[in-house]
């Protein structure tokens, strides 16, 4: 099973980098997870340099969009057991330490040990707009893998869900997402023409 989370890492200078990422809990591994960052990313470099991360679980689909496609100012606080930052907007998080890092292929395989686990108490509710935004953010980071027609159809479908079930924040995030994809497509078309 892959769970969606926002992984925060620090670079050697202490700057926080948030990145939405699928995280694989390793069953039978006693508190271990697998991260699969692309090797060309800040997340990979930071994991390799510092050996630590915070895996933040959030219901806020807009947060996934903005951290995947933009450079948002985030409200964070220091992790307790590792050098790292925790997103304020979470329902739970893991502070993790890298145990093994394999660099074969385009994506690394980073096995981490959970050194601290926090889960907020209270009632959590899920909204379809949140799921649509997460799917849209994932799609927008994979534009090179799909045809423009597929991307447009999928974004239109997701935008309908957000329009029906989302609040103002979700609608603004969908607008941001659609603008991002439009700009990226224009850049891609221009580069192809050059």
Banded pLDDT at 193 (limits 50, 70, 90): low
pLDDT at position 30 is: 72
Axis crossing angle, helix 148-165 with helix 168-193, rounded to the nearest 10:
170
pLDDT in tens, 42-93: 999 999 999 999 999 998 999 999 999 988 889 999 999 999 999 998 889 9
15: tokens are 């700057």
- What mean pLDDT, rounded, does the chain reach? 92
Give the residue-averaged pLDDT of 99-121: 94
pLDDT at position 169 is: 92
Q: Quote the CATH superfamily of domain 3-119.
A: Electron Transport, Fmn-binding Protein; Chain A (2.30.110.10)
Q: Contact 64/4 with Cβ under 8 angstroms?
A: yes
Q: What is the residue extent of each domain of the chain?
A: 3-119, 128-193
pLDDT at position 155 is: 96
128-193 domain in CATH 1.25.40.10?
A: no
pLDDT at position 189 is: 66
Residue 181 clears pLDDT 60, i.e. is over it? yes
Give the residue-averaged pLDDT of 7-32: 91
Q: pTM for the whole thing?
A: 0.83
CA torsion, ordered 69, 72, 77, 78, to nearest 10 deg: 60
Helices (H), the chain: 42-50, 61-69, 128-140, 148-165, 168-193
173: tokens are 């995030």
Three-state SS string across 53-105, please?
A: EEEEECCCHHHHHHHHHCCCCCCEEECCCCCCEEECCCCEEEEEEEEEEECCC
2: tokens are 């892959």
């Amino acid at each position: 099973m892959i769970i969606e989370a926002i992984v925060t890492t620090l670079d050697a200078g202490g700057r926080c980098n948030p990145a939405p990422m699928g995280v694989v809990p390793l069953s039978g591994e006693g508190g271990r997870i697998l991260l699969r960052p692309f090797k060309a990313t800040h997340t990979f470099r930071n994991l390799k340099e510092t050996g630590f991360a915070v895996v933040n679980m959030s219901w806020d689909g807009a947060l996934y969009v903005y951290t995947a496609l933009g450079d948002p100012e985030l409200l964070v606080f220091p992790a307790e057991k590792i050098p790292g930052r925790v997103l304020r907007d979470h329902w739970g998080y893991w502070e993790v330490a890298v145990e093994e890092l394999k660099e074969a292929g385009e994506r690394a395989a980073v096995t981490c040990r959970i050194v601290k686990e926090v889960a907020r108490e209270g009632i959590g509710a899920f909204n379809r707009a949140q799921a649509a935004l997460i799917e849209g953010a994932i799609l927008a980071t994979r534009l090179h893998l799909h045809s423009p027609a597929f991307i447009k159809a999928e974004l239109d479908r997701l935008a309908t869900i957000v329009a029906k079930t989302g609040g103002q924040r979700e609608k603004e995030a969908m607008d941001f997402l659609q603008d991002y994809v439009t700009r990226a497509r224009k850049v891609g078309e221009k580069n192809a023409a050059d």
